[in-house]
Chain A
Amino acid sequence: MSIKSLKLKNERIFLLALAILFIAMPACDLTEPTYSEFTPDTFYDNETAVLTSLSGIYRDFALIPTSNEGYRVLELVADQVIILGKIQGWWDDYSYHNLTWHEWNASNRRIEDMWNRMFTTVGQANALISSLENSNLEEPGPIAELKAMRAYAYFFLMDLYGNVPVFTEPKVDPNNLPKQNTRAEVFDFVVEELKAAAKILPSANDVGNEYYGRITKEAVYGILAIAYLNAEVFTGTPRYEMAINYADSVIESNAFRLLDDYNANFAHDNANNDEMIFAAVYAPNDPGGIGQTFVQKVMPGISGGLFGLPYTPQNGYSVRSSVVDLYEDQDVRKDIFMTTGPLLDPRNGDTVYVERVVPDGNSVLYVPGESTEGPVPYDVIKPTELRNQPMNAGVNWIKWRLDPNTNGGNASNDIAWIRYADILLIKAEAQLRLGTGDPLSLVNRVRERSNATPLDNLTLNDILDERGRELVFEMSRRRDLIRFDKFNEPWEFKEQSEESRKLFPIPASAIESNPNLKPNSFFN
């Protein structure tokens, strides 16, 4: 064979090899399977799948009372709950002291987190509603539930931040970012959405335990009653007659009643009781389930099994003594407070003895026969300021009672968003403001249940105080103070504040990501 033909052959091989390399092999496919994600187009083809979408939305709300942002934003700005900075540095975080002092700014972490939580819920609901609408499922209930919960999220956004953008598409177009609506427009959206959902949602009379945790027609009526009660704040126009109408819708459903025992509303086995209209459900012993942490966060820092608890509580939230002073001594609702003086065991009223009171750390429970120091009673003292307090300063409270099955600090007592007592007080207030009906008897029904002396006559201030007593720690105090125009008044550890504090600022980060948003001012 000549050199020439060899060369020719070389070239052929070369070309052939190149051909193999560049033509045959790139036929491989680049599409990777999804292993650990669902695709929305195909996922919602059965009832269970739909339920999983509701689960996440309801869970978002249940995280509000237990998370750092939600509860602190809702309660620390009002005149009841405080967090005392301790001398060894605990709880000394200005992101909530600024809430207490009404000195927050648009970069406050808690305010930003609450905004994000609520708007994430809205965004998730938007996407889920769109997916469900595009699925083959015909059952309208779940979409109505999602719309109702989205409206509830918007209720909080309107209440806290005022003029937020109402947006219901599944996805924001970056070229056309949402624009702000006035607070009144948001209000209209909320009530219209709720009314539409109420037409579809089942009545509490028609569903039982299997539906517990989900929103019913009456729960929506309850939210509407609250919205209309505050309509003047939200829109400038009072709508008390509507508040009465919707309170009546709840009452006339006859699905609810006041429990005989006030405290049963907050017991560990309070699930699905007759007074609960809509609640956050806690199941800390379920894998992946959530619990509520009030006992852990609130109880004094005493180690060694205080009240039989398996942990040492964190001594976080306490309450202003002015709140305790609102109650008559025989009022059973006063039992939830651990006032100044010796600490008493809520299970039996016994004095709690410790080895010694450690002002800068946790005290140790006195154990007869084992402890080498003590016993001394654990004395609760009055705080002198918001910061640098000894451990035993501050009145503790135990509204949601001890849970024998607590999983660490995570307890299973459910927390009501709306209770029947609230509905009665809403109706009473609206009637009093309109001068109709018999508001006094409604208030006294609530009072008598707790062994408080019935009132002879009723003023608006009595309503505010009664709400303060009955609904203390239940996340409505800020709204009530604003409605009664007392939110800016000075109280313990807080000076008079500006009118504009009635709204939280739209967070700086939100404005950064949506330049259409303008910082809110209170008067628009």
Chain B
Amino acid sequence: MVKRRYKKYIKSISWVGILAIQITFSVALYAQDTITGTVTDAEYGDPLPGVNIYIKGNPTVGTSTDTNGEYTLEVSSLNNILVFSYVGFQRLEVPIDGRTIIDIELTQESISGGDLVVVGYGTQRRDDITGAISSIRSEDFNAGVTLAPEQLMQGKIAGVNIVQSSGRPGSSSTVRVRGTSSISAGNDPLYVIDGVPIQTASVNNYVNVAGETGSTPFNSMSSNPLNILNPSDIASIDVLKDASATAIYGSRGANGVIIVTTKNYSETTVNYDSYLNVSSVREQLPFLSRDEYVDYAESNNMEYPNEGAVTNWQDQIFRTALSQNHNISFGGGSENTNYRASLGYNNQEGVIISSGLEKYTGRINLTQRALDDRLRMNINLTHAQVNEDNAAVSSDIDNEGGNMLKDALRWSPTLPVYNDDGSFYQIGELRVNPVSWRNLTDNSERSATLGAFEVQYNILEDLAFSVDMGHTSEYASRFNHVPLSHPLGAGEGGRASVSKLQNESSLIETTLNYQNAISENSYINVLGGYSYQRFVVQSTFSAANQFASDATQWNLLQSGNILSSTSNKSSNSLISMYGRVNYRLYERYNATFTLRRDGSSRFGENNRWGLFPSGALAWNISEEGFFNIDKISNLKVRVGYGVTGNQGIPDNLYREQLSVAGSATYSLGGEAIPSVLPSNYANPDLKWERTTQINFGMDFGLFEQRVNGSIDYYIKNTTDLLLEFSTAAPSVVSTQWANVGEVENKGIELTLDADVVQNQNLLWNTSMNFSANVNEVISISNDQFSRDNFRVGSLSGVVISADGNTQTVRPGLALNTFWGRKFTGLDSNGLETYLDEDGDGQPDYVKIGDPNSDFTFGWSNSVRFKNFDAAMTIRGTVGNDVFNNTAAEYSYINILPGSNVLRAALSNGSSVNQTSQFSSRWIEDGSFLRLANLSIGYNFNTDNIAQISRARVYVTGQNLLLITGYSGFDPEVRSNTQGDDGAPIGIDYLSYPRPRVFQFGVSLSF
């Protein structure tokens, strides 16, 4: 089926091509006057060879410059307008005005530079933008980011909130553009890398670590899907925030769109960049020391475990970690070709023993022009190999099990690490020597290839036809081994598993783009496109136990007893047709209209297709004749409205299904019969989640643009929520998806950027952003389904609450509001008391916190003084609450001496009879201010060294300073607690701590 589709494309492409070529040759020419001149680079004055020059309105009359940048062109009239175009430079239109010698200087354009903004399927002048789009170029990226590309922009863009889920090397981040709008369907933005939309669902979501037992000490957090990119390959990141900007991505635009563009070179360049990182935990959690522990037990006459040792278990599992990184890139450009190739290597140790990551990336970007620049072909190929060695640290463990971090916290400081014979001191399988967890293996290997091929042909000067083909493939394996020599594996003769996943997507996209001045004062840009993308995920999982030897680990599963062996495959496809019209009148009135029709195989026949329109207007007031305020160099107001969709749900939900859970069998008549059970009800009515958004914006520039900024206000309403809610019994499934409810986000975003000092020796740029978002659940009912509230945010560890949850989804409140008993103090017996307003003798369950922040802010500075440069990013949030689940579990003397406790347990007044309870007592203010990045570099004078064009050394510190009232490792955390799909916001439980990192680097260009 797919093959046939492709054939159809190829056919139609060649059709258009042949037609276009016929036209080209059938045009007759006649010339009269000759014009000559030289084209040079405006910045460096170098002659530019290969610049295209043609007569406006008649592109068949044209030439290009020679190696000296010189050209000769015969024209029919000296009243014509000449067009100069050269890739990487701004296009210039020059009226001949009767001249015969015209020398031209072209100015370089950076594709993401101040003037051009990457929008969906193209670029636009910043002046013409009607929507809310933020861009960040490589020179403004956060310094010191080694692995995760999204951190390049963390704290830099208003309205984009990025929270790294933990400090584990390779851990993912939660990226939210303008708040959280969906409850059960995805909230991740769409990532478009060099034109190819990526399915971000990380492979680890599919990779089975728990097998059929459910609980596992291994983390099930997803790996970062963007990890496959090398941050140093990225030229720019553009974030489309409002609906008028994202609606061109229709069904996948509701959560914002993040467009990543990678670098290409236009002149010969060789770069080498290398650095060394030293990371360590910022602080340890204050658990009882050995003396405090023994004092408590003895003064209370308690029997306690004592082997005479003095062990700080946190010291035993934390370490100072070293990492190194090397990047080499080279490239160049000639008349018709630009290219860049790069290789990256990164080896990062985690601050917890036996964790680390190794990453290899390679990329080739190649652009070739032909047929007098009318044909442009572009190939972007990248391959990445990411190998992770994970420590057994996870947040989603049930109350009886442990993991390395949990055991390090709770193990008594009187117990030794090793026995006299050098073996690990052990208690048993439910409480494992913290250090011995390193004998468990949890390795993952992920290789990913992203390829994009684009052909663009200018059928006419103002009509371009392009075909994009993209393919992504990702192969992930995860290998787990619990040795039989370890208490955890001893009972079952060891356990090993292999999990494999293949995740592929194919994209074909054709667009037609027409842009022209339709009259003297108006300009139009029309885009029409069609795209087809298909995603296929396949996975296998095998597990075995009862091994005779640990030697083969997971490499000879057949030497054990096979417990499970499963395979799965699912697919989905999206078909879209879209169009966009940009219209500009008098250089000051801009209008954008888009329309996209999307079809998704994830929905039933009745509701497959969704229509997503948008419109936006912008008015450049400063261009008006009446506008004469000198100090204001730019003033533009924008308004936009649009509808976008969300289809972030599993495949095949609309159909009735029967399937086998895991590899479940049951013995009937002595034979193992697979258990095939209904796994889903048919829901043919399932349809798109719809987000409508209105945006009011203003861009301004002062003092000839030395200060500029923007303000945006938006209201975002999400209806027909794809909601996974509990079914009424009896049902074959405990939850079912339906379109129920409504969520609203309202917010304001401010950005301010200023070149504070601009002189020969000193450049100082500062930029600030501020965003505030108010989230509210409007409804979680419709005519079929009705709920007062949902409970979410699972409680972890041995902590008691009414129903094991900490948060609520409830109309009138923000999503994930903390809900529970309000702690009102301790009674005379040292027992907790809770608010009981209605006096019924039972504690009231009330709102006890809001994990959503009131506002977030970022402040970046970059300074260049003579040969020195420096950059700094400070960012923070205010008003968000965090549930410190770790404190809730370990702040009660009740669990002594079996488990160590936080020092605060001795002084917080709780009696020995008070059990660990979830209440507002453990909800803390998570506001913080973090010195996230500070970098100082020195640029050597290389004028006298012929071989080196640039040499820079630098020191960068990350996470240097954290000002917060929060008592845990770090308030900026999202623990992946048990029972939740993805990490709930604002819960901190046994999270891998975020390190403080010092980086020393050198960067050379040849």
Contact = CB atoms under 8 A, between A and B. Distances in A.
Contact of A55 (B670, B673, B725): B673
A513 B780 CA distance: 12
Interface string B649-670: 0011001111100111111111
A311 interface: yes
B465 interface: yes
A433 to B, nearest CB: 34
Interface stretch (B18-26, B99-107, B877-885): B18-26
A55 B9 contact: no
Contacts of A421: none
Contacts of A43: 658, 676
A318 B683 CA distance: 47
B366 to A, nearest CB: 26
Contact of A123 (B669, B726, B731, B785): B731
A275 B270 CA distance: 83
A122 B678 CA distance: 12
Nearest to A169: B730
Interface in A244-299: 271, 281-283, 285-290, 296
A311 B657 contact: no
Interface in B402-425: 410
A512 B528 contact: no
Q: Which among A115, A120, A131, A515 has the highest number of chain B CB atoms within 10 Å?
A: A120
A210 B670 contact: yes
Interface stretch (A7-15, A319-327, A374-382, A463-471): A7-15
Interface string B781-804: 001111111010000001010111
Interface in A144-175: 165, 167, 171-172, 174-175
B148 interface: no
B492 A38 contact: no
A510 interface: yes
A83 to B, nearest CB: 11
Interface string B527-568: 011101000000000000110000000000000011111011
Interface residues of B, number: 117
Interface stretch (A198-206, A338-346, A357-365): A357-365
Contacts of B804: 107, 109
Interface stretch (B138-146, B184-192, B316-324, B892-900): B892-900
A24 B575 CA distance: 13
B678 A128 contact: yes
A362 B676 contact: no
B492 A409 contact: yes
Contacts of B673: 51-52, 54-55
Contacts of B788: 512
B663 A409 contact: no
Contacts of B677: 53, 56-57, 124, 128
Nearest to B656: A40
Interface stretch (B229-237, B257-265, B427-435, B746-754): B427-435
Interface residues of A, number: 112
A151 to B, nearest CB: 13
B656 A39 contact: yes
A515 B785 CA distance: 11
Interface string B469-493: 0000000000000000001001111
Interface in B847-871: none
Contact of A36 (B426, B569, B572, B898): B569
A40 B657 CA distance: 7
Interface string A24-35: 111011111111
Nearest to B912: A388
B5 interface: yes
Given A56-B675, A172-B730, A362-B428, A22 B577 contact: yes
B828 interface: no
Interface in B1-45: 1, 5, 8-9, 12, 15-16, 19-20, 23, 26-28
Closest 10 CB pairs of A and B: A311-B491, A408-B492, A56-B675, A88-B898, A119-B729, A288-B663, A35-B569, A514-B728, A123-B730, A122-B730
15 contacts: A18-B512, A20-B16, A25-B12, A56-B675, A120-B729, A123-B731, A172-B728, A174-B728, A212-B669, A281-B667, A288-B665, A288-B672, A312-B428, A312-B491, A513-B727
Interface of A: 1, 6, 9-10, 13-14, 16-18, 20-22, 24-26, 28-40, 43, 49, 51-59, 62, 86-94, 105, 107, 109, 112, 115-116, 119-120, 122-124, 126-128, 131, 165, 167, 171-172, 174-175, 177-178, 209-214, 271, 281-283, 285-290, 296, 301, 303, 310-312, 314, 359-362, 388, 390, 407-410, 508-510, 512-515
Given A88-B427, A509-B791, 18 more contacts: A17-B465, A36-B659, A39-B656, A49-B676, A90-B430, A90-B431, A92-B798, A115-B729, A120-B734, A165-B729, A171-B681, A212-B669, A214-B669, A287-B562, A287-B563, A287-B663, A288-B674, A407-B545
